[in-house]
């Protein structure tokens, strides 16, 4: 039998296994995990487990509200129960060891029964014998109902959050679509992949948060989107209407008055009849005298001797006539009841109206129309028309009416292949691994579908085994801490001490800021060239760094340069072939492979408690990836001061646990009572000397107080224990005492006499 244990103490799982093997004569192979997410990952990786034993008190909680704790536990158990299936498709029984406060018939048990957890133990039943009994023979549904003391009517067999979509999932989807840019085909492929992992209710929720340009593409090209979404009008039409409405808001009063309803651009000269009756035309300004016919002047200059015709009347005249010409194509509306037997439209003959009123609208004969020639406008009229933006084309024969040169932006956008309102260029984002779309793994998405074209562009490196290089004379140690805690200070000074002791030491700077690049290059061009190529040379098997002194070599690169630094295996292999001690200056952006391959991890922390949270969050991330090993951890308490209410144990106790910012749960990282640590006190003289060294680009411990040098030597013995190993004293054998022959004879006589 294979069992997965998720209990807070290994002694519990060991006692259960020993008792079961003794009582039931069956061998158990088992594995221990220590947090809920690890259970999920283990079940996704291995489907051969026969039983799962979980303690409800697996993770510590700082939140005192039981409702929040119950919600967290139920959500985790719900996800675990979904994954708890073996290779045959059968459910793996989950044995839950409940907390002290659980009672039968309570709501939590009803919910657990609904998701298929039948083997919970409460109160005094939480014993090793009872766990062994359930391992041998799990409860069936009927037995669980009796043990829990619940009624079937109270049970809901559907998870509460089945149709919910978390905010994290929505944000990941939006970020993914933002990275796609304007690739419409990838919009459809991505949505089809998402749709395969969600039900219709969840997809409707997700679609409401998608950008409008994405929804417009999906409603036209995605059958799945069209199936689940019901809508009255298309998004694409709404986008165009919205843009037109925004444009109308931006238009000024002059553009509205002078603009054409159809917003057409004039392509030829405008013609009007030689005489127009303006009695029925609505005027913007009062016309003082009768409007005279506009005459054509071919080569002669136009002289405006009649001041009675204003510029406004000319504009009204053109606007009214153009409107009349457009309306000629429309059938004329008549009053009265329509005919029962209407005549064919071709046979209708209109009789001219007589008398007063507006002349009938008929096709104007060519000889009655004349081409408009733009009149010359004097300075006074130019000032009046300055607000109308009259424009003359380069061709003097064409005259562009004011307000008519408005481009159809929607048509231009459509020709360019862009939706209106979404023509801005997307941000250039380096393509990275697309967030997975797998709901069972921490509510993230997993793009394992082979149909998608989304691929990671990050270069992968082979895993190089360096265990054979880690002998008794070689050592690799990582130093990490929150910014401004003095990690580089510890690494640089420790390297100086070990190199002075004759140890072949190397500094590998993997931080984002690359402080060692500025310190050890000494503002010299040749050293900068060596530094820029040192990391890439290590990845190629060549150890060529900055030679700081006889026994110290520094390997660094340009700040924020990441090329080649992720090839941790090859880099460490090259370093260990040349150096005895490798000190790695790390931060929270350092590739995880360095922490996995190192022998020891030194946590640099000050008495500033606000810097503890980022460090513990980073350690929890390492633990979730099964990289953090407690036996590797050491602590360096840097800049230690005498603070009332705080001592070394207080700081270490705060570092031992990760506290969720919402104080809903707490994760233990290491045993605060057994971890090794060293304290480096804050000394103003030392700090001033270090700053002076940084300014002068000359790193040395000369000038430090004796107690500081002694502490650094003690730290070096912790990092490289062979430093403290000294050979036993053997007095030299004297073969010739250097006395004269007469003195030797006198000594011989004294020996014989006495």
Last residue of a domain, one of 154, 178, 200: 154
Residue 58's pLDDT is 87
Does residue 653 share a domain with residue 563? yes
Task: Name the domain boundary from 154, 182, 199.
Answer: 154
Say if 360 falls within a structural domain.
no
Give yes or no: residues 181 and 113 share one domain. Answer: no
Residue 111 CA to residue 94 CA, distance in Å, equals 14
d(CA 216, CA 218): 6
Enumerate residues 6+ apart whose C-beta is below 8 A from 427: 178
What are the 10-residue block averages of pLDDT along the chain, 754 residues in total?
89 90 89 88 89 89 77 89 87 92 88 91 91 93 89 55 68 83 84 82 84 86 80 52 55 51 54 56 49 47 46 63 58 55 51 54 45 50 46 43 43 44 44 42 40 44 85 91 92 94 93 89 88 90 91 90 86 93 94 92 93 92 88 93 87 89 78 92 90 88 90 92 49 49 69 62
User: What range does the domain containing 431 cover?
Assistant: 166-247+409-458
- 3-class state of residue 392 by DSSP: strand
Question: Strand, coil or helix: what is 5?
Answer: strand
The strands making up 505-509's β-sheet, listed across from edge to edge, are 546-549, 552-555, 505-509, 581-585, 475-480, 600-605, 633-640, 676-681
- Would the CA dihedral through 640, 641, 646, 649 be positive or negative? positive
126 with 211, same domain? no
Q: Kindly state whether residues 144 and 181 are assigned to the same domain.
A: no
Across 166-291, where does the E strand assignment appear? 271-273
Q: Residue 88 and residue 47: Cα distance in Å, rounded?
A: 9
Question: 139 and 203 in one domain?
Answer: no
For residues 53 and 182, state if they share a domain.
no
Number of helices and strands (H, E) in the chain? 26, 19
3-state secondary structure of 41: helix
Model confidence pTM above 0.75: no
Residue that has been written with the tokens 């007469």 in this structure: 742
Do residues 155 and 114 lie in contact, with contact meaning Cβ atoms separated by under 8 Å? yes
DSSP string, 92-121: PPEEEE--TT--TT-HHHHHHHHTT--EEE
3-state secondary structure of 413: helix
pLDDT of residue 723: 42
Same domain, 667 and 569: yes
Q: The tokens of 513 are what? A: 């800021």
In this prediction, residue 336 carries a pLDDT of 55
> Do both 496 and 434 map to the same domain?
no
CB distance 157 to 114 below 8 Å: yes
Determine the 3-state secondary structure of 707 from DSSP. helix
User: Is 610 part of a structural domain of the chain?
Assistant: yes
Give me the pLDDT at residue 356, please: 56
Residue at 715 is within a domain: yes
Terminal-residue alpha carbon distance, the chain = 86
Give the integer Cα–Cα distance in Å for 116 and 78: 9
Task: Look at residue 102 and tell me if it is in a domain.
Answer: yes
Residue 294 lies in a domain: no
Residue 195 lies in a domain: yes
Phi (first) and psi of residue 680, to 5 degrees? -110, 110
- CATH value at residue 110: 3.40.50.2300
Please report which helix (H) or strand (E) contains residue 575, including its range.
helix 568-578
> In 3-state terms, what secondary structure has residue 142?
helix
* Distance from C-alpha of 351 to C-alpha of 339, rounded to nearest angstrom: 18
Largest CA-CA distance found in the chain, in angstroms, rounded: 173
Residues 99 and 228 in one domain: no
Distance CA 616, CA 482 (A): 10
Q: Helix H segments across 9-117? A: 10-24, 36-45, 66-83, 107-114
Residue 324 near residue 282 (C-beta atoms within 8 A): no
Residue 718: give its domain's CATH number.
3.40.50.300
Q: 154, 174, 203: which is the final residue of a domain? A: 154
Q: Is residue 705 part of a domain?
A: yes
- Can you name the residues that pair with 271 across neighbouring β-strands? 371
Whether residues 226 and 135 fall in one domain: no
**Strand pairing category for 552-555 and 633-640:** unpaired
Q: Where are the beta strands (DSSP E) in 459-531?
A: 475-480, 505-509
Count how many domains the chain has: 3
Q: How far apart are CA 46 and CA 727, in angstroms?
A: 52
Residues 143 and 219 in one domain: no
Burial grade of 8 (CB within 10 A; 0-12, 13-18, 19 or more): middle
| Structural domain includes residue 67 | yes
Query: Do 239 and 142 belong together in one domain?
Result: no
């Amino acid at each position: 039998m294979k069992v997965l244990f998720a209990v807070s103490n290994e002694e519990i799982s060991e006692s259960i296994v020993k008792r079961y093997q003794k009582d039931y004569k069956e061998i158990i192979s088992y594995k221990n995990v220590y947090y809920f997410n690890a259970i999920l990952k283990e079940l996704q990786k291995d489907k051969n487990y026969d039983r799962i034993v979980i303690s409800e008190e697996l993770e510590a909680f700082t939140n005192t509200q039981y409702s929040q704790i119950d919600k967290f536990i139920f959500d985790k158990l719900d996800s675990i129960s979904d994954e708890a299936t073996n290779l045959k498709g059968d459910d793996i029984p989950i044995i839950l060891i409940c907390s002290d406060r659980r009672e039968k018939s309570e709501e939590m048990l009803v919910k657990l029964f609904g998701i298929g957890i039948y083997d919970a133990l409460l109160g005094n039943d939480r014993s090793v014998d009872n766990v062994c009994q359930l391992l041998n023979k799990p409860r069936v549904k009927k037995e669980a109902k009796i043990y829990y003391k619940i009624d079937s009517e109270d049970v809901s067999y559907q998870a509460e959050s089945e149709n919910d979509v978390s905010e994290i999932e929505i944000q990941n989807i939006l970020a993914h679509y933002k990275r796609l840019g304007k690739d419409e085909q990838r919009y459809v492929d991505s949505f089809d992949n998402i749709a395969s992992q969600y039900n219709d209710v969840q997809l409707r929720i997700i679609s409401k948060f998608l950008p409008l340009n994405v929804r417009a593409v999906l409603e036209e090209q995605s059958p799945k989107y069209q199936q689940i979404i019901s809508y009255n009008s298309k998004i694409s039409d709404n986008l165009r209407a919205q843009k037109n409405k925004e444009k109308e808001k931006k238009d000024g009063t002059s553009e509205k008055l002078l603009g054409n309803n159809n917003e057409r651009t004039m392509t030829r000269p405008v013609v009007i009849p030689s005489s127009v009756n303006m009695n029925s035309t609505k005027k913007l300004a009062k016309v003082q005298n009768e409007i005279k016919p506009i005459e054509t002047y071919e080569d002669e200059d136009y002289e405006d001797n009649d001041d009675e015709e204003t510029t406004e009347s000319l504009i009204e005249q053109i606007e009214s006539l153009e409107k009349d010409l457009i309306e000629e194509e429309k059938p004329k509306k008549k009053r009265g009841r329509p005919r029962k037997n209407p005549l064919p439209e071709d046979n209708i003959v209109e009789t001219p109206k007589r008398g007063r009123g507006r002349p009938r609208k008929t096709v104007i004969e060519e000889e009655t129309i004349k081409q408009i020639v733009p009149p010359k406008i004097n300075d006074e009229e130019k000032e009046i028309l300055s607000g109308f933006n009259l424009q003359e084309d380069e061709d003097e024969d064409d005259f562009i009416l004011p307000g008519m040169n408005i481009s159809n932006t929607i048509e231009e956008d459509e020709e360019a292949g862009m939706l209106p309102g979404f023509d801005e260029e997307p941000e250039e984002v380096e393509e990275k691994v697309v967030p997975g779309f797998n709901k069972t793994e921490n509510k993230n998405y997993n793009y394992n579908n082979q149909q998608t074209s989304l691929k990671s562009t990050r270069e992968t490196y082979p895993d190089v085994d360096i265990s054979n290089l880690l002998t008794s004379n070689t050592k690799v140690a990582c130093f990490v801490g929150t910014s401004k805690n003095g990690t580089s200070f510890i690494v640089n000074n420790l390297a100086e001490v070990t190199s002075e002791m004759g140890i072949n030491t190397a500094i590998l700077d993997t931080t984002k800021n690359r402080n060692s690049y500025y310190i050890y290059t000494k503002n010299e061009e040749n050293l900068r060239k060596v530094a820029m190529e040192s990391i890439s040379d290590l990845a190629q098997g060549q150890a060529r760094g900055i030679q700081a002194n006889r026994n110290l070599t520094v390997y660094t690169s340009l700040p924020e340069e990441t090329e080649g630094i992720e090839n941790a295996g090859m880099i460490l292999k090259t370093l260990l072939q040349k150096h005895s001690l490798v000190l790695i200056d790390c931060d929270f952006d350092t590739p995880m492979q360095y922490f996995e391959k190192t022998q020891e991890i030194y946590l640099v922390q000050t008495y500033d408690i606000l810097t503890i949270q980022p460090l513990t969050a980073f350690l929890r991330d390492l633990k979730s990836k099964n990289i953090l090993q407690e036996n590797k951890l050491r602590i360096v308490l840097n800049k230690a001061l005498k603070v009332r209410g705080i001592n070394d144990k207080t700081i270490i106790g705060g570092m031992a646990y990760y506290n969720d910012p919402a104080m809903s749960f707490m994760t233990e990282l290491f045993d605060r009572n057994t971890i090794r640590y060293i304290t480096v006190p804050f000394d103003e003289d030392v700090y001033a000397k270090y700053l002076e060294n940084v300014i002068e680009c000359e790193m040395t411990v000369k000038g430090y107080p004796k107690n500081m040098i002694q502490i650094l030597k003690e730290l070096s013995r912790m990092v490289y224990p062979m430093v403290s190993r000294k050979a036993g004293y053997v007095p030299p054998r004297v073969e010739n005492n250097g006395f004269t022959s007469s003195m030797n004879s006198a000594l011989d006589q004294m020996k014989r006499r006495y």
